[in-house]
Chain A
Amino acid sequence: MENTFTADLTNCDREPIHIPGFVQSHGFLLALTPGTFLINKASLNTKEFLDKDAQSLISQPLSTLEKNIVPAKAGSTLMDLIRLATITSNLEQINPQPVLVNGKEMLFVIHQYLDQIICEFEPMQSSDDTITLQKLMSTSLSVIQSSVTFDELLQHVSKLVKEITGYSRIMIYKFHKDQHGEVIAEANDEHLESWLHLHYPASDIPSQARELYKLNLVRIIADVNSTPSGLISSPENKKPLDLTHSVLRSVSPIHIEYLKNMEVGASFSISLISKGELWGLIACHNSTARFIDYNSRVACKFIGQLFSAALEFKYAEDAEEKSTNYRDKQQQLLEQLMKGDDPVKSLINSEVNLLDINTATGVVFFYEGKQYRLGEVPPETEVDDLIAWVRKHEHSNFFQTSTLPLQYPAAKKLSSVASGIMVTEISHEFSEYIIWFKPEMIKTVDWAGQQEKDTSVSEDGSLRISPRKSFAKWTQEVKFNSDEWSNNEIAAAIKLREDLIQVINKKAGEIRKLNELLKEAYDELDTFSFTISHDLRTPLSSIKNYTEIIMEDHGSQLDEEAKFLFGKVIIAADKMAGLIRDVLQYSRVGRAELATDPVDMKKMLAEIREELITPGKEKDVILEIKNTPDVCGDKTMILQLFTNLVNNAVKYSTLPTQIARVSVNGEVEDGFVTYTIEDNGIGIDMRYANRIFELFKRMDNVKKIEGTGVGLAIAKRIVEKHDGKIWLESRLNHGTKFYVSLPIK
Chain B
Amino acid sequence: MPRNILYVEDNQDAIAFFSRVVNKLGDYNFVTREDGTSAISLLEEKKDFTPEMILLDINLPGMNGFEILQYVRSKTAYKHVPVIMFTSSDDNGDVQKSYEYGANAYLIKPDSLQSLKEVLQDTFNFWLKHNVA
User: B residues within 8 A CB of A577?
Assistant: 111
B123 within 8 A of A: no
Contact with B along A514-552 (1 / 0, CB 8 A): 000000000000000000001001111110111011001
Range of interface residues on chain A? Answer: 20 to 34
A548 B112 Cβ-Cβ under 8 A? yes
User: B residues within 8 A CB of A546?
Assistant: 13
User: B residues within 8 A CB of A573?
Assistant: 111
B38 within 8 A of A: no
A538 B14 Cβ-Cβ under 8 A? yes
A479 within 8 A of B: no
**Given A549-B113, A574-B111, residue A542 in contact with residue B91 (CB < 8 A):** no
B89 A544 Cβ-Cβ under 8 A? no
CB distance from B48 to the nearest CB of A (A): 31
**Given A549-B20, A588-B91, A636-B92, residue A538 in contact with residue B111 (CB < 8 A):** no
Interface centre among A542, A546, A584, A636 (most CB of B within 10 A): A542
A545 B11 Cβ-Cβ under 8 A? no
Question: In the complex the two chains form, what is the Cα distance from A573 to B112 in whole Å?
Answer: 10
Contact with A along B42-79 (1 / 0, CB 8 A): 00000000000000000000000000000000000000
**Given A538-B11, A552-B113, residue A545 in contact with residue B17 (CB < 8 A):** yes
Question: In the complex the two chains form, what is the Cα distance from A588 to B89 in whole Å?
Answer: 12
User: A residues within 8 A CB of B17?
Assistant: 545
User: A residues within 8 A CB of B91?
Assistant: 588
A541 B113 Cβ-Cβ under 8 A? no
User: A residues within 8 A CB of B112?
Assistant: 544-545, 548
Q: Nearest CB to that of A537 among chain B residues?
A: B88
Contact with B along A566-608 (1 / 0, CB 8 A): 0000000110010001001000100000000000000000000
User: For window 1-41 of chain B, which residues contact chain A by CB distance below 8 Å?
Assistant: 11, 13-14, 17, 20
User: A residues within 8 A CB of B13?
Assistant: 538-539, 541-542, 545-546
A541 B88 Cβ-Cβ under 8 A? yes
A545 B113 Cβ-Cβ under 8 A? yes
Question: In the complex the two chains form, what is the Cα distance from A636 to B95 in whole Å?
Answer: 13
CB distance from B57 to the nearest CB of A (A): 10
User: For window 81-133 of chain B, which residues contact chain A by CB distance below 8 Å?
Assistant: 88-92, 109, 111-114, 116
Question: In the complex the two chains form, what is the Cα distance from A577 to B14 in whole Å?
Answer: 16
Q: Nearest CB to that of B92 among chain A residues?
A: A636
Q: Nearest CB to that of B20 among chain A residues?
A: A549
Question: In the complex the two chains form, what is the Cα distance from A677 to B8 in whole Å?
Answer: 46
Dominant SS at the A interface? helix
CB distance from A503 to the nearest CB of B (A): 46
CB distance from A452 to the nearest CB of B (A): 95
CB distance from B16 to the nearest CB of A (A): 8
Q: Nearest CB to that of A593 among chain B residues?
A: B93
B92 A541 Cβ-Cβ under 8 A? no
Question: In the complex the two chains form, what is the Cα distance from A579 to B9 in whole Å?
Answer: 25
Q: Nearest CB to that of B88 among chain A residues?
A: A537
B111 A544 Cβ-Cβ under 8 A? yes
A548 B113 Cβ-Cβ under 8 A? yes
Question: In the complex the two chains form, what is the Cα distance from A581 to B91 in whole Å?
Answer: 11
User: A residues within 8 A CB of B114?
Assistant: 548
User: A residues within 8 A CB of B109?
Assistant: 541
CB distance from B87 to the nearest CB of A (A): 10
B113 A534 Cβ-Cβ under 8 A? no
A538 B113 Cβ-Cβ under 8 A? no
User: B residues within 8 A CB of A636?
Assistant: 92
CB distance from B108 to the nearest CB of A (A): 10
Q: Nearest CB to that of B110 among chain A residues?
A: A541
CB distance from B54 to the nearest CB of A (A): 21
Question: In the complex the two chains form, what is the Cα distance from A636 to B92 in whole Å?
Answer: 9
User: B residues within 8 A CB of A539?
Assistant: 13
Interface centre among B11, B14, B20, B111 (most CB of A within 10 A): B111
User: B residues within 8 A CB of A545?
Assistant: 13, 17, 111-113, 116
Question: In the complex the two chains form, what is the Cα distance from A577 to B111 in whole Å?
Answer: 8
Question: In the complex the two chains form, what is the Cα distance from A534 to B17 in whole Å?
Answer: 19
Q: Nearest CB to that of A581 among chain B residues?
A: B90
User: For window 300-350 of chain A, which residues contact chain B by CB distance below 8 Å?
Assistant: none
Q: Nearest CB to that of A546 among chain B residues?
A: B13
Q: Nearest CB to that of B13 among chain A residues?
A: A542
Q: Nearest CB to that of B114 among chain A residues?
A: A548
CB distance from B119 to the nearest CB of A (A): 13
User: B residues within 8 A CB of A544?
Assistant: 111-112
User: B residues within 8 A CB of A549?
Assistant: 20, 113
A534 B14 Cβ-Cβ under 8 A? no
CB distance from A544 to the nearest CB of B (A): 6
User: B residues within 8 A CB of A542?
Assistant: 13-14
CB distance from B89 to the nearest CB of A (A): 7
User: For window 380-411 of chain A, which residues contact chain B by CB distance below 8 Å?
Assistant: none
Q: Nearest CB to that of B59 among chain A residues?
A: A534
User: B residues within 8 A CB of A541?
Assistant: 13-14, 88, 109, 111
Question: In the complex the two chains form, what is the Cα distance from A546 to B90 in whole Å?
Answer: 23
Q: Nearest CB to that of A542 among chain B residues?
A: B13
User: A residues within 8 A CB of B14?
Assistant: 538, 541-542
Question: In the complex the two chains form, what is the Cα distance from A534 to B112 in whole Å?
Answer: 17
Question: In the complex the two chains form, what is the Cα distance from A72 to B91 in whole Å?
Answer: 125
Question: In the complex the two chains form, what is the Cα distance from A273 to B111 in whole Å?
Answer: 103
Question: In the complex the two chains form, what is the Cα distance from A538 to B12 in whole Å?
Answer: 11
User: B residues within 8 A CB of A581?
Assistant: 90
CB distance from A385 to the nearest CB of B (A): 61
Question: In the complex the two chains form, what is the Cα distance from A76 to B29 in whole Å?
Answer: 153
Interface centre among A537, A539, A544, A545 (most CB of B within 10 A): A545
Question: In the complex the two chains form, what is the Cα distance from A272 to B17 in whole Å?
Answer: 111
CB distance from A390 to the nearest CB of B (A): 59
User: A residues within 8 A CB of B20?
Assistant: 549
Q: Nearest CB to that of B12 among chain A residues?
A: A542
CB distance from A530 to the nearest CB of B (A): 9
User: A residues within 8 A CB of B11?
Assistant: 538
Q: Nearest CB to that of A553 among chain B residues?
A: B20
CB distance from A330 to the nearest CB of B (A): 59
Question: In the complex the two chains form, what is the Cα distance from A155 to B20 in whole Å?
Answer: 114
Contact of A538 among B88, B90, B92, B116 (CB under 8 A): B88
CB distance from A82 to the nearest CB of B (A): 118
B89 A534 Cβ-Cβ under 8 A? yes
CB distance from A552 to the nearest CB of B (A): 7
Question: In the complex the two chains form, what is the Cα distance from A303 to B88 in whole Å?
Answer: 104
Question: In the complex the two chains form, what is the Cα distance from A674 to B61 in whole Å?
Answer: 47
Interface centre among A540, A541, A574, A584 (most CB of B within 10 A): A541
Question: In the complex the two chains form, what is the Cα distance from A549 to B114 in whole Å?
Answer: 10
CB distance from A160 to the nearest CB of B (A): 97
- 4 new A-B pairs (CB below 8 Å) besides A538-B11, A541-B88? A537-B111, A541-B14, A545-B111, A581-B90
Interchain Cβ contacts under 8 Å between A and B, 29 examples? A534-B88, A534-B89, A537-B111, A538-B11, A538-B14, A538-B88, A541-B13, A541-B14, A541-B88, A541-B109, A541-B111, A542-B13, A544-B111, A544-B112, A545-B13, A545-B17, A545-B112, A545-B116, A546-B13, A548-B113, A548-B114, A549-B20, A552-B113, A573-B111, A577-B111, A581-B90, A584-B90, A588-B91, A636-B92
6 closest A-B pairs by beta carbon, nearest first, are: A542-B13, A548-B113, A541-B111, A537-B88, A545-B17, A545-B113
